[in-house]
Chains A and B, each alone.
Chain A
Amino acid sequence: MSVLQALDVGLAFLVFAVAAWTVFAPGPFAATVGYVVYGLLLSLVWIRLFAVDVALTEAAIGSGVTGVLLIGAAARLRGAETTPAEEALTGLTRLFAAGLCLLVAAALAAVVLLLPDQGPTLAPQSMERLPETGLGNPVTAVLIAFRSFDTMLEKVVLVLGVVGVWSLAADRYWGGAPGEARAERPEPTLAFFAQVLAPIGILVGVHVFWVGADEPGGAFQGGAILAAMWMIVMMARLTEAPQASAFWLRLALIAGPAVFLAAGVAGAVVAGGFFAYPPGLAKPLILFIETFMTFTIAVTLPMLVAGPPRREPRR
């Protein structure tokens, strides 16, 4: 066994160990920390599988943004960690739950093991048609050209997520601003960190989006980095979240899917197919759509993290 193989096996065991630790962690906060570590290890696994795009997404969304959301949830649950319902769980119920989990895991394992060694794949066809899109990164081509309808719907799901979060607001806060208000004197350490990091992070986010056409990266990863920069500036309380009723915010939330859908409909008229791109214009069109998508992702994710409106709207 070569050194790299030994490292891979070690990495796989580490992923299992951290997963088990996350399940058996003593409380929500500890479990969240375990989950974030698990996500970062998974992105290393994806890099070893040469799927750098997936690794970037796993690190930014799976570990980063989801981690922030879960930490927020854990903080809200503090003090309510042992509910009466949880204490009332008898040994039999626990045994039943464990049995069900084992059954699901065994069924999944069986399905994976029963797959044919050479699964059905569209990869050769995708690589063959890649030059027609003018892109160099096949993952971006699949996301924005070959399977563009799926990607558009994913962004719609994100917008629905924000609508769902906002609906949790109390009636009198409807349309108000979520999160903490801007502080007169922000906490100095965090404020310094946000002020130094945000300009660098914005540069990195735009870079990751831009190179996505030819190298690993793209709208989702770049947008997530930009989103993180807005989050950190809001967490440092250097700025505050906009009111949920702000027209520009609502426009920003739908800009990505709306432009994507408009391009798709235009394709039906101009290029002879729903979500078809006219030949030769594919790359500029894809970059145009991705620009708006990046912007929408950068606005949507911080709104998810900021949570439901918590202050009365100013009129």
Chain B
Amino acid sequence: MSLALDLFSIAAISAGVFFFLAGTVGLLRFPDALSRLHALTKADNLGLGLIVLGLLPRAESLLAALMLVAIWALVQLAGATAAQLIGRAVRRKGPAI
């Protein structure tokens, strides 16, 4: 059982790291601000989500597990808001660079 949980953790965290990597490559390589924002959401949302999912079986208590999920939700909220605000600024004033 513990081996299965460990394998699950490794798989989920690896997948999360992959999405972080993909999001970062997109952030560095995509041509304009809006598509860079689009790439970033993969790291925020799926990347962190999968890493939290992988860490859940390793949490010391139910409270710690709930805190991990709460962190993911808060990052989602902050990321979505920041993306909206940057996107709006880009549309209004045109891309900065």
Contact = CB atoms under 8 A, between A and B. Distances in A.
Contact of B88 (A189, A192, A193, A197): A189
A189 B78 CA distance: 11
B77 A196 contact: yes
Contact-size category for B: under 10
| Chain B facing A: main interface SS | helix
A64 to B, nearest CB: 12
B81 A200 contact: no
Contact-size category for A: under 10
Interface in B78-93: 78, 81, 84-85, 88
Contacts of B5: none
Contacts, number: 15
Contact of B84 (A189, A196, A200): A189
A190 interface: yes
A190 B81 contact: yes
A193 B74 contact: no
Contacts of B77: 193, 196-197
A60 to B, nearest CB: 15
A193 B76 CA distance: 11
Interface in A177-199: 189-190, 192-193, 196-197
Interface of B: 74, 77-78, 81, 84-85, 88
Interface of A: 189-190, 192-193, 196-197, 200
